[in-house]
Amino acid sequence: MKQSKNIHCNGFSLVEALLAAMLLAIAVIALCGVSNHAMVQVVQNEDDEIAWMVLDKEMTRIAQVGIDDFIEAGVTEGVNSDFEKEYRWEVETSSGIEFDYLYTVAMTVTWKTDKRQKMVRASTYLNGQK
């Protein structure tokens, strides 16, 4: 009497295991690249947010002091070193054509990153007392 041996193996072949490992490695590498890019964007957004805060702080100070007194003081630039990076600000003022007491105030905040210099700029109108 002859017995037939029916060999049936459960599991994965070597080719299937290598293919699965390769696909997993590709997915991990892609996720690491996305994560790195996201971290760079977070740092850039933090720098931009700080620059806008510096700009807002200085514009508010000018409005509180009064544009006439600010112009008489002759301060047109400064540096804010409260943060990790130095944020330089510069103000340009000009009086209006139709109204002498209405001033255009433009402020630029610049800072250096690892690769380049960046800036934000805003302008507004302020009423003088003259």
Count how many residues are written for the chain: 130
13 alpha carbon, distance to own chain's centre: 49
Helix (H) or strand (E) holding 124: strand 117-127
Segment 60-80, tens digit of pLDDT: 999 999 888 888 888 889 999
Q: Provide the 3-class DSSP secondary structure of residue 69.
A: helix
Tell me which amino acid residue 15 is.
V
* Among 129, 64, 65, CA closest to 100: 129
Give the pLDDT of residue 112: 92
> pTM of this prediction?
0.69
Tokens representing residue 84 in the block: 């990790």
Residue 90 reports pLDDT greater than 90: yes
Mean predicted lDDT score pLDDT of the chain: 86
CA gap 87, 80 in Å, rounded: 5
Segment 26-43, tens digit of pLDDT: 988 888 888 888 887 888
Give the pLDDT of residue 6: 64
